[in-house]
Amino acid sequence: MAKGMREIKRSIKSIKNTRQITKAMKMVDAAKLRRAQEKAVAARPYADKIKEVIASIAGGTNGFKHPMLETRPVKKTGYIVITSDRGLAGGYNGNIIRKVIQTINERHKSQDEYSIFVIGRKGRDYFRKRNYPVIEEIVGLPDSPSFSQIRKISSEAVKLFADGQLDELYLCFNQFQSALVQNPSVNRLLPLDQIEGETSGVNYEYEPSAEEVLVDLLPKYAETVIYSALLEAKASEHGARMTAMGNATDNATEMINKYTLFYNRARQAAITQEISEIVAGANAQA
């Protein structure tokens, strides 16, 4: 009995240590979530304004053609997948990876029909281990990434599309709704065939010409959308980890209460047994 009580006591101490860690991680990610959410919200107006300007130019340049605005027969598709470098975030990585795999299985019959650009160690390890065609990767991004840190992968993806090596480009990430809700999304980024007509009615003047401005602006718009999605994904990651660590803390508290109850019952049974033995010994001597 004493041995069993020691094991229960050791388990209670171990769970308390774990609860201390998960509670600290929850508080850290709650602070990171606030900052990441602010950056994600701040990036939206810039992307929306670029889209508005592009729509204005595209709508006013009759006969102007650009690879990023034209739909062509799909022979090869690119997927930009955003995951995290660390785990302990509940279903954050698993949900978006399953969404991507489901999309690939529905749309493609062989690996020759698609390529993957992956951001985050979890996604990189998953796809590389299973021999998916990963052609570009970025790992080790900080909690507040800068545009320059992801420009290489975004520029490469846009360039491959503009050169005709990719006919479609999809952006796959967890869209931030709240700390409790992150929606895995697979959105088509290129071509921008639906952008025309999304104007605000404002007339712009361009120098040297609308066509030349559009040529420079289209790649920048696509890169901006990718960066905005990364900020959304970072906010989703911190929200998912905060929720997961909160649930882990609650579960640890529940286990501590359960083991404490077992310990008290075992201790009470041991005391009762000792009293019974004392009384039985006294009666035997009487």
Can you give the pLDDT at residue 277?
A: 75
In whole angstroms, what is the distance from residue 111 CA to residue 98 CA? 17
Can you give the pLDDT at residue 202?
A: 63
In whole angstroms, what is the distance from residue 109 CA to residue 122 CA? 25
Can you give the pLDDT at residue 108?
A: 94
CA angle, 237 then 240 then 245, to 5°? 120
Kindly report whether the peptide bond that precedes residue 67 is cis, defined as omega within 30 degrees of 0. Answer: no
Q: Report the topology of domain 30-242.
A: Pyruvate Kinase; Chain: A, domain 1 (3.40.1380)
pLDDT at 215 over 70: yes
Helix, strand, coil percent content, the chain, rounded in steps of 5: 65, 10, 25
Of residues 56 and 16, more confidently modeled? 16
Q: Which two tokens stand for residue 134?
A: 């990963």
Q: At what angle do helices 147-162 and 210-285 cross, to 10 degrees?
A: 120
Q: How confident is the model at residue 66 (pLDDT cuts 50, 70, 90)?
A: confident
Question: Which runs of E-coded beta strand occur in 58-194?
Answer: 77-82, 114-119, 134-138, 168-176, 182-190
In whole angstroms, what is the distance from residue 135 CA to residue 116 CA? 6
| Helix (H), strand (E) at residue 127 | helix 121-129
Of residues 67 and 260, more confidently modeled? 260
Can you give the pLDDT at residue 285?
A: 72
Hey, where are the domains in the chain?
2-24+244-285, 30-242
Q: At what angle do helices 210-285 and 2-60 cross, to 10 degrees?
A: 170
Q: Report the topology of domain 2-24+244-285.
A: Helix Hairpins (1.10.287)
Between the alpha carbon of residue 269 and those of residues 7, 138, 258, 262, the distances in Å are 16, 59, 17, 10
pLDDT at 194 over 70: no
Contact 82, 176 (CB under 8 A): no
What is the rounded average pLDDT for all residues in the chain? 87
- Provide the 10 A C-beta neighbour count for residue 186: 17
In whole angstroms, what is the distance from residue 30 CA to residue 25 CA? 8
pLDDT at 196 over 60: no
In whole angstroms, what is the distance from residue 110 CA to residue 77 CA? 12
3-state secondary structure of 143: coil
Q: How confident is the model at residue 40 (pLDDT cuts 50, 70, 90)?
A: confident
Percent of the chain predicted with pLDDT > 90? 55
Q: How confident is the model at residue 214 (pLDDT cuts 50, 70, 90)?
A: confident
Can you give the pLDDT at residue 184?
A: 95
pLDDT, average across residues 143-160:
90
In whole angstroms, what is the distance from residue 58 CA to residue 75 CA? 26
Q: Which two tokens stand for residue 56?
A: 């204005």
Can you give the pLDDT at residue 266?
A: 82
Q: Which two tokens stand for residue 7?
A: 């094991």
> Where does 130-196 have alpha helices with state H?
147-162
pLDDT at 54 over 70: yes
Percent of the chain predicted with pLDDT > 70? 92
